[in-house]
Structure 1
Amino acid sequence: MPSADRPPSRRAFLDAAGVTVAAGLLAGCSGDSARSDRPVDPTPSAPPTPTPVAVTGRHQAGVTLPRSAQPHLLALVADLGETVPPGPILAELGETIQTLAAGSDPRLLGLSPGDVTVTVGVGPRLVQAVGATLPGATDLPGFSRERVDSRERGGDLLIQICAGDALLPPLVAAALLDQAGDRVQERWRQFGRRGVEVPVAEDRTAPRNLLGFIDGIVGPHTDAEQERDLWLAGPPAVAGGTLAVLRRMEIDLTRFAALSVAEQEAVFGRRRASGEPLSGGGVDSAPGLNAKTPEGRYLVPVDAHVRRANPTVVGVGHMLRRSYSIDTPAPGLLFVSFQNDLRTFTATLSRMDTSDALLPFTTTTASATFLILPGYDPQRPLGSTLFG
């Protein structure tokens, strides 16, 4: 973070010099009319200090806290050795996460942890070993438009690292993998970033995605909605956790960009600039799925994404959805959703599979689901309610 005692940077010096030269040229042309009584400050202002996020509590950080997700994410998927017991390694990871978030771990190399969050989940194989009927014991089925290598399907362990500083996720990942040692084998990892945040409600924002549309408008945002659709109420071993789905998708940007704006909006069912439903209302308004033109045409097309994925139409709860733009291994999105019933995702995607105007522009190249473990603290280690 810039210091008030630090000399101006070369960029700041050049900026200030440019202002001085421009003022001199204007003075030469128009005399005193170009003078300004306001001094030019060549020192760049320091960025705001990120607010630390509490690590311990009923829920893990990185799902609903912070309220607006950090712009940078690293999702790391790994396997545990066949004979490695999950309990001890999860407890160690939880302790390491606490030291990293406190800034007391030397593996941060002097960087401030800022608003970093680490969220840990376990895959179906580990959950099934505890109980075949537990939430999280069921894997995702296959869907259409997938091209997923076996190494990038499933996994035993998810480590989701989010931060406002893009330098932190790889450092945190390296520290956690170092802590795990050869007990963990990495499968794949994906960096992602959120686009510019756009106001969608009085106290809420959502980012634009790689296709230019506002993403994540609908979801369980209030405490009551989150208790209903997001957090697991039981059994006790998983209470306070949730279920995560990760899907990495390539997007045919060239073909989508070739559509007119009206055609792009018909794909989503929303206005690209404002995020408002094509049926009218504000950006936070529910799409009017029965609204028609005087000629009898639906204002929200029958294959529009907001219609096909609408939770009321599908008959499921709301997902807390996060999309992160990616540019490797190909341009696209890393889709992350949190829900307390895996059917919320599978039923939605099954309905989209039959007729969703957005899906033909996508190809899924990685897919996994995880039980996000309940929250923890020094007296109740990470994973202890399930593997203790």
Structure 2
Amino acid sequence: MPEQSTPQTSPPDASGPPGAERSPGAGGSSAARTARGSSGAPGGAASGPGGSRDVPSPQSRPHGSVSRRRLLGTAGATGLALGAAGGAAGYAAAPTADRGAALASLGSGQVPFHGSHQPGITTPLQARGHLVAFDLTAGSGRKEAAALLRRWSTTARLLMAGEAAAQDDTDVARDAGPSSLTVTFGFGHGFFARTGLEKQRPIALDPLPDFSSDHLDRNRSDGDLWVQIGADDALVAFHALRAIQKDAGAAARVRWQMNGFNRSPGATAHPMTARNLMGQIDGTRNPKPAESDFDRRVFVPAAGEPAWMAGGSYAVVRRIRMLLDDWEQLSVKDQEAVIGRRKSDGAPLSGGSERTAMDLEKLGPDGSPAVPVNAHARITRPDQNGGAAMLRRPFSFHDGIDGDGVPDAGLLFVCWQADPLRAFVPVQRKLDRGDALSAFVRHEASGLFAVPGGAAKGEYVGQRLLEG
């Protein structure tokens, strides 16, 4: 729970959720996902290098068919305009409730697929998420990987616009709008050897070092390809997951999959920072796009290396198990000492409100630091780590009860940075040496992925690497 979106060996500090302002036009209108006739065949056909697809006009649709967007009705159209205004004003730490959309029109929210950065990085937190890694199959190389990324990009573009998948759409999301769906793609360390592109592998993608708090399941770590799916509706997210898995075909197989959630938009009386499963306000000090050094911290510059990563970012993914039975035995006062912030409102123990700067010099009535020296929020502060910071954008998870009868629950920690060797790694090492929260969390899976910049119109994600 890093103070300003620093990484976590533990869950985020009592701060707020990651996420950021949407790209311009995030709430703009688009063709709706086309409902299909009794034959089940999707309307239109894929074409062009970007996999563009002709969407039937209302006049050319089969008799009785209706678009998903039209099914939302007038309330949906009104919500779309509200979503556009709210999305543009949001920022990394803002929950999706900031979009201002009425509950009846949440499905109208739309995030653009094309842009300088991929969606799902600065997009406000989404209610439902799926993280899935794939390995290329034997015999699949650069050519097969390029065809796969072309298929995936086409599917992501269509589904994010509220349209049906180009091939064999399952109709799972037929009655919903885009619901702020985002699909994000990344490459793991092994991808480059399998495709003969070792010379294009970034130095920043070197494997993460081992940390003393790690208890990693290698079968649920790493992977050649990584996909992050997020949406404000569970069925819309699942629909995208199935489409991506089906598109993999014979080129790639699933290595691991993790499913997560966040608070639903509109669940609180007013927009506020989200809480994690420990009940802590999580993400208060996430960096914001309005800050002058935001891009430098989060995105690879245009002149960066390698050139194909311009506008991209590096995602560190960690499955962090929260030992909730142990945590919940602590008094609220002891929980606050572990985190360094009040549980009720996220304010630092040195005083003030959630957004008040933490006073590390302030002493308590007994003469000891008001914020304990091993408090998670203190250790992870960027100003205590040479300015290292990253954009945290996690999902919570709960996978039932394990064989010992305790909750298998915690945080799917995802953080974004321009260089993990200068951001995640040094902070994680510091947490390893004395974070009070370490006794209540366990790192069970890990991955590092190079996420290229966004695709321009007519391009697919990763094209500059695979065809460069």
Instruction: Determine if the TM-score, normalized by the shorter chain, exceeds 0.5.
Output: yes
In the alignment, is the contact (CA less than 8 A) between 1:123 and 1:136 conserved in 2? no
The equivalent of 2:392 in structure 1 is: 321
2:109 to 45, 51, 70: 51
Task: Call closer, same or farther: CA 1:353–1:138 in 2, change over 3 Å.
Answer: same
> Equivalences for 1:171-210 in 2 at 5 Å?
171-195=239-263, 205-210=272-277
User: Cα RMSD over matched residues?
Assistant: 2.5
Question: What amino acid is aligned across from residue 340 of structure 1 in structure 2?
Answer: A
Question: What amino acid is aligned across from residue 415 of structure 2 in structure 1?
Answer: S
The equivalent of 1:145 in structure 2 is: 213
Question: What amino acid is aligned across from residue 175 of structure 1 in structure 2?
Answer: A
1:353 to 421, 432, 452: 432
1:371 to 450, 453, 466: 450
In the alignment, is the contact (CA less than 8 A) between 1:50 and 1:164 conserved in 2? no
The equivalent of 2:119 in structure 1 is: 61
Question: What amino acid is aligned across from residue 165 of structure 1 in structure 2?
Answer: D
CA deviations over 1:273-330 (Å, ceiling 9, x no partner) = 1000111122122211122235531111010001111122122421111232211161
2:395 is aligned with 1:338 = no
CA deviations over 1:237-273 (Å, ceiling 9, x no partner) = 1011100011112111111111111100000000001
The equivalent of 1:89 in structure 2 is: 148
2:288 is aligned with 1:221 = yes
CA deviations over 1:120-151 (Å, ceiling 9, x no partner) = 11111225634366254311122123222221
Question: What amino acid is aligned across from residue 339 of structure 1 in structure 2?
Answer: Q
1:113 to 175, 178, 182: 178
> Equivalences for 1:292-311 in 2 at 5 Å?
292-293=363-364, 295-311=366-382
Give the unaligned 5+ runs of structure 1: 5-44
Question: What amino acid is aligned across from residue 150 of structure 1 in structure 2?
Answer: R
Question: What amino acid is aligned across from residue 87 of structure 1 in structure 2?
Answer: A
The equivalent of 2:158 in structure 1 is: 99
Distance 1:198 1:165 in 2: 13
In the alignment, is the contact (CA less than 8 A) between 2:395 and 2:412 conserved in 1? yes
Distance 2:240 2:204 in 1: 26
Task: Call closer, same or farther: CA 1:378–1:47 in 2, change over 3 Å.
Answer: closer
Bigger RCO of structures 1 and 2 (CA < 8 A, at least 6 apart): 2
Distance 2:250 2:134 in 1: 11
Distance 2:448 2:271 in 1: 27
The equivalent of 1:160 in structure 2 is: 228
Q: Which has the larger radius of gyration?
A: 1
Give SS of 2:150's match. helix
Give SS of 1:341's match. coil
CA deviations over 1:41-99 (Å, ceiling 9, x no partner) = xxxx835443111110000111102xx21111111111112532233321221112111
In the alignment, is the contact (CA less than 8 A) between 1:147 and 1:363 conserved in 2? yes
Task: Call closer, same or farther: CA 1:338–1:190 in 2, change over 3 Å.
Answer: same
Question: What amino acid is aligned across from residue 149 of structure 2 in structure 1?
Answer: L
1:226 CA drift (Å) = 2.0
* Aligned residue pair count: 344
In the alignment, is the contact (CA less than 8 A) between 2:308 and 2:452 conserved in 1? no
The equivalent of 1:7 in structure 2 is: none
Task: Call closer, same or farther: CA 1:281–1:188 in 2, change over 3 Å.
Answer: same
Q: Which moved more, 1:366-375 or 1:313-322?
A: 313-322
2:279 to 191, 212, 230: 212
CA deviations over 1:212-231 (Å, ceiling 9, x no partner) = 01111112213433212101
Give SS of 2:273's match. strand
Distance 2:329 2:203 in 1: 43
The equivalent of 1:41 in structure 2 is: none
Task: Call closer, same or farther: CA 1:56–1:133 in 2, change over 3 Å.
Answer: closer
The equivalent of 1:271 in structure 2 is: 342
Give SS of 2:250's match. helix
Task: Call closer, same or farther: CA 1:99–1:108 in 2, change over 3 Å.
Answer: farther
Question: What amino acid is aligned across from residue 317 of structure 2 in structure 1?
Answer: L
1:346 CA drift (Å) = 1.0
